[in-house]
Structure 1
Amino acid sequence: MALHTFLNSISSEPLHVLSEAILISQYVKLNLSEDNEALKQVDVSSPKHLGNFINQIKAENNALVAFGGYKEVRGIYRRSNHFSNPEQERNIHLGVDLWIDANTPIFAPLDGRVHSFKNNINFGDYGPTIILEHTVNNIVFHTLYGHLSLQSIQQLKVGKTFVKGEPIATLGDETVNGNYPPHLHFQIIKDLQGCLGDYPGVCSKKDLNFYSENCPDPNILLKLT
């Protein structure tokens, strides 16, 4: 069974990485693609200016959370050498971003154990990151949580278990999260390829076919649309 099909079968109801008290109607879809004309008027290299743009979208839609980004082609990563080199540009986003205030609690969508964690400190990187390992019906897969607070990983231990709905972390701000407005990067990963506390959240067009299979759309679980 393909991972996409299996994940879709886990639950007919939305799974939650933010509080269940936030209604689906309080989420608004956000377009951060390089084709968004409105975004071209924003200095996306500035957490303040990008944050103001996102907050305006939320305010106009009476939303608490802006979300989106899976396989979105973005120009925001050009500000960092971490994503670009002379041979290929990594600009296709592989997770779902949930834009909400710093210190917002993050919850385990399913029972899981801490596979690994790390503070990824490159400019534009995840900052504090946790990867959970899940086993459902003998099928193993992983979920990654990026742009967390430093406190989220300070007392953490590999192998620690969390039950579905248990808080696992809080969001960080731009001083620790890679220099972005506060948000959660949530990603599903089948094969971590030996990575610990980190995994590519952005890929090049050349590698998209592989990553599309290895990192299916997180909205399969979240069911926000």
Structure 2
Amino acid sequence: MSLNQFSEFINTISSKPLYVLDATIPKDKYIPIDISESNETLNTIDVSSSSKLGKFVNNHLKTHDAQVAYGGYLEVRNIYNRSKHFNSQAEEARNIHIATDLWCDAETPIYAPLEGTVHSFKNNTNYGDYGPTIMLKHHINNVEFYTLFGHLSLGSIKNLKVGQLFSKGQQIATLGDATVNGDYPPHLHFQIIKDIQDFKGDYPGVCSKTDLDFYKSNCPNPNLMLKLL
């Protein structure tokens, strides 16, 4: 299945938005946010500090009277420069985000957008990494694909089991805070993955420019499912 075919498939699973946050949050309480390197305002902030970045996000929410700030797919970001997890002398730097982030409060409930089983889960503890992470496997119309939920609370993976079934709309987790989520302001990293390869409990959510074509084809825009725009 080509990129265009898979993206079209994801888009047509539902004509209505699918939800990973509380479905009763009105659409007008979602606001786009720019965390890219081209955001001149953000470039005046020490984004290596989760508290200072969190203040930027919270001010953006307050200014727009919103509950959730969203965006980030294919954004080139400076916030990964602080971590060796994304930057090593032996490899090209990874700074292109290949998922959607939903910035909101810690302990916000997270829901399965579709019926799925737990493929794997893990606490990814590298500095700047996902922290607690859950990956679901879905089968829709004979197509198998995966969704990844990163930056969760430790309690979200405490009693989880591989193969555990979650119904569409069932709560699967809550958001973690900076003490457990890789040292970020609270947010959900939500990613769609066509081919999981051999990964378990983890999958790259940020890529290098060299690898971008592959990850664009394997990880389509989650907004095809969320329909926030």
For Structure 1 versus Structure 2, the TM-score category normalised by the shorter chain is over 0.9
Q: Which amino acid aligns with 1:67?
A: Y
Q: Distance in 1 between matches of 2:105 and 2:121?
A: 22
Q: Distance in 1 between matches of 2:97 and 2:156?
A: 24
The answer to whether residue 132 in structure 2 is matched with residue 110 in structure 1 is: no
Deviations 1:185-214 (A, max 9, x none): 000000111100000000000000000000
The number of equivalent residue pairs is 225
The answer to whether residue 65 in structure 2 is matched with residue 37 in structure 1 is: no
The answer to whether residue 55 in structure 2 is matched with residue 52 in structure 1 is: yes
- Greater shift, 85-94 or 177-186, is seen at 85-94
The answer to whether residue 3 in structure 2 is matched with residue 14 in structure 1 is: no
Q: Percent identity between the aligned chains? A: 61
Question: Which of 126, 131, 145 is the aligned partner of 1:127?
Answer: 131
Q: Which amino acid aligns with 1:123?
A: Y
The answer to whether residue 193 in structure 2 is matched with residue 189 in structure 1 is: yes
SS in 2 for 1:133: strand
Q: Distance in 2 between matches of 1:111 and 1:164?
A: 4
RMSD: 0.6
**How big is the shift at 1:41?**
1.1
Q: Distance in 2 between matches of 1:3 and 1:114?
A: 21
SS in 2 for 1:184: strand
Deviations 1:5-51 (A, max 9, x none): 10111001000000011111100000000010000111101111000
SS in 2 for 1:128: strand
Deviations 1:97-149 (A, max 9, x none): 00000000000000000000000000000000000000000100000000000
2:68 is matched with: 65
1:25 is matched with: 28
Question: Which of 99, 119, 128 is the aligned partner of 1:95?
Answer: 99
Question: Which of 164, 170, 176 is the aligned partner of 2:168?
Answer: 164
2:207 is matched with: 203
Deviations 1:66-93 (A, max 9, x none): 0000000000000000001223110000
The answer to whether residue 143 in structure 2 is matched with residue 139 in structure 1 is: yes
SS in 2 for 1:143: strand
**Structure 1 stretches lacking a partner, 5+ long:** none
TM-score, scaled relative to structure 2: 0.97
Q: Distance in 1 between matches of 2:206 and 2:27?
A: 26
Q: Distance in 1 between matches of 2:71 and 2:228?
A: 9
For residues 205-220 of structure 1, what are the structure 2 equivalents within 5 Å?
205-220=209-224
The answer to whether residue 156 in structure 2 is matched with residue 152 in structure 1 is: yes
SS in 2 for 1:220: helix
Q: Distance in 2 between matches of 1:127 and 1:47?
A: 14
Moved over 3 A (4+): none
Q: Which amino acid aligns with 1:9?
A: T
1:78 is matched with: 81
**Structure 2 stretches lacking a partner, 5+ long:** none
